[in-house]
C-alpha cells in the first residue's frame, strides 16, 4: 500500500533530524536521550549512588543516559509495555504499568528501597482523536504521580512528560502541592510542533503519599 503524503513527510523529517543522526552515530537508542541529557545538565538531577526508576523506558534511551551518568554506582530500574533489549546495569521489567503484575514486580525489586528519582516518558498509543489521546495520556501521568507518591524518598524528584491540553493545568497545580518546586521544560530535542513538555517536580514534601 502506498504511503500517504503525511507519512512521506514524517519519514523525511525523521531521517533529516539532527538528533536522530546524532543518536545513530553515538550509539544511543533514541533521540529522546538528548531531551534527558539536557535536563540532567540543566537541573543537576543525577549523582552517584542514586536509585532511579524509568517508566515507559523502551527503547532504552533514557536508561542508557542514566546508567552512563551513574557509572558503576546506584541502580536503574526500567519498565515498559514494549520489550527492550538488555542494557548492562539496568533491571528491566516487561509489562503494562496499568496492570498490577508488572507494578508488583517493580515493587518487589525495590524491596522497600526509597527511590531518588522517578522518570516517566510514557505516552499512550495515539488514536488521532485529541480528546481520547489526551485522556489516556493524563491517566498514565496520574499513575506515574501515584507511584512517585509511594516510592520517592522525601526530597526526591519526579520528571514526567505531559501533553498540553485538558487536565494539564490541574495536574501541574496538583504537583505543586506535592513538591517544593515545579518547572515546565521544553528541551531542544523536543519537536517544536509537538505539544509535549516535561514537568520537573523537585523536593518531594515530607510525608507526601505515605
pLDDT digits (tens, 9 = 90+) for 88-104: 999 999 999 999 999 99
156 marked as part of a ligand binding site: no
Q: Is residue 15 part of a domain?
A: no
Kindly state the cell numbers that stand for 115.
527511590
Comparing 107 with 22, which gets the higher pLDDT?
A: 107
State the average pLDDT for the chain. Answer: 88
pLDDT of 12 above 90: no
Instruction: Provide the domain count of the chain.
Output: 1
Task: Establish if 9 belongs to a structural domain.
Answer: no
Q: Cis bond leading into 59, ω under 30°? A: yes
Q: Is 49 annotated as a binding residue?
A: no
Q: Note whether 185 and 147 are within 8 A (CB).
A: no
Q: Is 210 a catalytic residue?
A: no
Model pTM?
0.87
- Tens of pLDDT, residues 135-150: 999 999 999 999 999 9
**What cell numbers appear for 197 in the block?**
513538555
Q: Where are the beta strands (DSSP E) in the chain?
A: 51-55, 75-80, 90-94, 115-120, 152-163, 179-185, 196-204
Query: 168 is in which domain, residue-wise?
Result: 31-204
| Residue at 110 is within a domain | yes
Residue 16 to residue 10: CA distance in whole angstroms: 10
**Does 167 belong to an annotated binding site?**
no
- Read off the C-alpha cell for 95: 509489562
Residue 10, pLDDT above cutoff 80: no
Assess if residue 20 is contained within a domain: no
C-alpha span between 6 and 100 (Å, rounded) = 38
* 155 falls within a domain: yes
N-term to C-term CA, the chain: 54
Quick check: 43 and 14 in contact, CB under 8 A? no
In a domain, 43, yes or no: yes
Catalytic residue among 21, 161, 181, 210: 161
Task: Please give the pLDDT value at position 33.
Answer: 85
The per-residue pLDDT for range 106-131, each reduced to its tens digit, is 999 999 999 999 999 999 988 889 99
The whole-angstrom distance between residue 150's C-alpha and the CA centroid of its chain comes to 17
- DSSP secondary structure letters along 144-185: HHHHHHHHEEEEEEEEEEEESSTTHHHHHHHHHHHEEEEEEE
Distance CA 198, CA 6 (A): 26
pLDDT in tens, 180-204: 999 999 998 777 778 899 999 999 9
Say what angle helices 100-110 and 130-151 make with each other, to 10 degrees. 30
The answer to whether residue 1 scores a pLDDT higher than 70 is no
Which CATH number fits the domain that encloses residue 200? 3.40.50.150
Q: Checking DSSP bridges between strand 75-80 and strand 115-120, what pairing results, if any? A: unpaired
Share of the chain above pLDDT 90, in %: 71
54 is in an annotated binding site: no
User: Does residue 13 lie within any of the structural domains?
Assistant: no
68 lies in a domain? Answer: yes
Q: How many CA atoms lie within 13 A of 196 on its CB side?
A: 20
Calculate mean pLDDT across residues 166-171. Answer: 97
* Whether pLDDT at 134 is above 60: yes
More confidently predicted of 46 and 192: 46
Q: Show the CA angle centred on residue 18, arms to residues 16 and 22, nearest 5°.
A: 120
61 is in an annotated binding site: no
How far is the C-alpha of 52 from the C-alpha of 23, rounded, in Å? 22
Picking from 104, 80, 75, the residue whose alpha carbon sits closest to that of residue 93 is 80
Amino acid at each position: 500500500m502506498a504511503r500517504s503524503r503525511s507519512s512521506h513527510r514524517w519519514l523525511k523529517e525523521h531521517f533529516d533530524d539532527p538528533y536522530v543522526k546524532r543518536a545513530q552515530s553515538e550509539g544511543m537508542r533514541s533521540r529522546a536521550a538528548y531531551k534527558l541529557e539536557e535536563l540532567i545538565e540543566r537541573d543537576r538531577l543525577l549523582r552517584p549512588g542514586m536509585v532511579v526508576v524509568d517508566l515507559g523506558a523502551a527503547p532504552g534511551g533514557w536508561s542508557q543516559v542514566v546508567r552512563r551518568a551513574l557509572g558503576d554506582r546506584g541502580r536503574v530500574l526500567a519498565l515498559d509495555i514494549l520489550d527492550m533489549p538488555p542494557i548492562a546495569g539496568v533491571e528491566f521489567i516487561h509489562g503494562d504499568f496499568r496492570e498490577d503484575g508488572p507494578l508488583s514486580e517493580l515493587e518487589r525489586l525495590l524491596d522497600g528501597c526509597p527511590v531518588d528519582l522517578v522518570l516517566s516518558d510514557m505516552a499512550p498509543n495515539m488514536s488521532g482523536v485529541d480528546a481520547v489521546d489526551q485522556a489516556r495520556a493524563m491517566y498514565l501521568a496520574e499513575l506515574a504521580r501515584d507511584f512517585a507518591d509511594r516510592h520517592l524518598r522525601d526530597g526526591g524528584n519526579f520528571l514526567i512528560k505531559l501533553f498540553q491540553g485538558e487536565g494539564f493545568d490541574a495536574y501541574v497545580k496538583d504537583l505543586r502541592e506535592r513538591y517544593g518546586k515545579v518547572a515546565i521544560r521544553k528541551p531542544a530535542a523536543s519537536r517544536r510542533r509537538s505539544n509535549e513538555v516535561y514537568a520537573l517536580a523537585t523536593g518531594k514534601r515530607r510525608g507526601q503519599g505515605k
